[in-house]
Amino acid sequence: MKLSRIISNQNGISRKQANLLIASGTVLIDSAPCHDPAREVTVFEQVIQQGRVVQQGMTAHYLMLNKPAGILSATRDSSHTTVIDLIDPAIDELHIAGRLDRASTGLLILTNNGQWSRRLTDPQVKKPKVYLVQTAHPIDDKTVRQFAEGIWFEYEQLRTSPAHLDILSDREARLTIYEGRYHQVKRMFHAAGNRVTRLHRESMGAITLDPSLAPGDYRPLTNEEIRSVTDEATAG
């Protein structure tokens, strides 16, 4: 929301009057004076006008979870344990940035900052997402070429972005994709005539699963990890 609108709404004054107040230098955003009425203010920023708090500012949460198998990537479910059930209930309003299906494991990001999470997961942004994959049948060089060319998804009527498949052993590979569409990895292998038996996400963008986290454990993201999403978006 624009700063002028916040000041106008909180004081019951016109937008023009709000602009004059802001121009006078008496409005602070996170303790710094702001003179720009058109400044977009997020819900996570504190706004003070003439010593009075007009917007407290929510606490932004960014968590890294090592998702165990058998846990739903959902905020609530009446029958199954969800990833939210693993988090301290005092940390509320979280959503999942890039889901994993129930059987899959590994890096899961939870946050209450929707704008930030969209930057991380939007297929158009094309941030790399790396998975360790085990399959029912041997992975051959043909599959590597197919993934590099992109796989046609009939339902969406689109071809996936080129993906990099590094074969580690007969039935194990490390896959890097740049989108994160619905069940994308399993659908790609299915289209290549194979079936995924284990899927573990290692990283999203510049954020890599902390090896010290046991399955079910989580920690806050570091400032560097948080900034990596914003900085990459700005650079792009």
Catalytic residues, which ones?
A: 101
Best CA proximity match to 167, nearest among 141, 196, 200, 148:
141
Instruction: Specify the length of the chain in residues.
Output: 236
Helix, coil or strand: residue 230: helix
59 DSSP assignment: P
Q: How far is CA 156 from CA 66, 177, 198, in A?
A: 30, 17, 25
C-alpha 170/C-alpha 5 separation (Å) is 60
In b/e form, how buried is each residue of 73-111, taking b as 16+ CB within 10 angstroms? beeeeeeeebbbebbeeeeeebebbbbbeeebbbbbbbb
